[in-house]
Amino acid sequence: MHKDVVIVGAGPAGIFTALEMLKKGSRQKILIVEKGRAVEERRCPKNKTGQCVSCRPYCHITTGFSGAGAFSDGKLSLSYEVGGDLPSLIGAEKAQETIDYADKIYLEFGADSHVEGLGNTEEVKAIRKRAIRAGLKLVDCPIRHLGTEKAQDLYYAIEQYLLQDGKLELNMVYASCRDDELERMSEQEKAELETHFQCSLYSDFDIALEDIFSGLLP
Ligand SMILES: Cc1cc2nc3c(=O)[nH]c(=O)nc-3n(C[C@H](O)[C@H](O)[C@H](O)COP(=O)(O)OP(=O)(O)OC[C@H]3O[C@@H](n4cnc5c(N)ncnc54)[C@H](O)[C@@H]3O)c2cc1C
């Protein structure tokens, strides 16, 4: 089996890496390995049970295509002044450029164009004054609100784009069986499991789960 790039994890980091490679016209054979399920197959039992049942072998909230934020209401803070260490690592200007760039991709895949928190209203001015008096800095941060179900729809659109778009050079491999299901299976049932996948564009690009998990992932 030959692959040029393996991306481990289909969270936003992995997804945007793949999107960026495709956008830049990469002809490399890309494989995304994701231990969870496709976004449309992710289900949290809490919706029915009312409480967390500690799913094994992994939590569907944090695991699967689109990663940890799939079931959140998806708030994207669009200012470099909010968030992690990016501005100190690459500079404020570049950080803002990068945020705007990523935001544009979300828009391309159907995010609501409305942005909250833009108006510098009298109310905001009053809060700012109070903040200054208290020795605090009020950060004006525009926020794009995807919405819980909308976030899943949006990631589904990205997933379909990565899997089905004509210029696809990428194969997605999902663990098709849970560990505890595997343990209960007979040898014959195990033998019938689909563990080989073929790239739609390269017929010689055959991907076997055992190759991936034995060599790459401890
Ligand atoms: C409840 C909740 C609400 C959130 N709300 C927001 C929000 O409103 N706005 C916001 O900006 N952020 C929010 N976040 C944070 C956001 O989800 C994370 O910052 C983001 O998901 C991080 O992306 P990532 O790709 O780095 O990691 P992750 O999203 O964690 O993705 C990692 C992926 O890798 C997979 N994986 C891990 N190990 C392996 C392995 N060995 N083999 C194969 N696959 C593997 C996992 O299954 C997962 O899909 C929220 C997070 C949570 C949990």
Q: Tell me the per-residue pLDDT of 101-140, one tens digit each, with 9 for 90 and over.
A: 999 999 999 999 999 888 778 888 999 999 999 999 888 8
48 C-alpha to ligand 1 centroid (Å): 23
**34, 99, 179, 216: which to mutate for ligand 1, most atoms within 8 A of CB?**
34
What share of the chain in percent tops pLDDT 90? 27
Q: Does domain 1-72+149-218 have CATH number 2.60.120?
A: no
**Does residue 183 contact residue 177 with C-beta atoms inside 8 Å?**
no
Residues with CB under 6 A from ligand 1: 8-14, 33-36, 62-64, 67-69, 72, 74-76, 217
Q: Is the pLDDT of residue 58 over 50?
A: yes
User: Which atom number of ligand 1 is nearest to the Cα of residue 58?
Assistant: 47
State how far the Cα of 163 lies from the Cα of 158, in Å rounded to an integer: 9
**7, 20, 52, 63: which to mutate for ligand 1, most atoms within 8 A of CB?**
63
- pTM score: 0.78
What are the extents of the domains in the chain?
1-72+149-218, 75-145
pLDDT band at 73 (very low <50, low <70, confident <90, very high): confident
Q: What is the crossing angle of helices 12-23 and 92-108, to 10°? A: 80
Contacts of 24 (CB under 8 A, 6+ apart): none
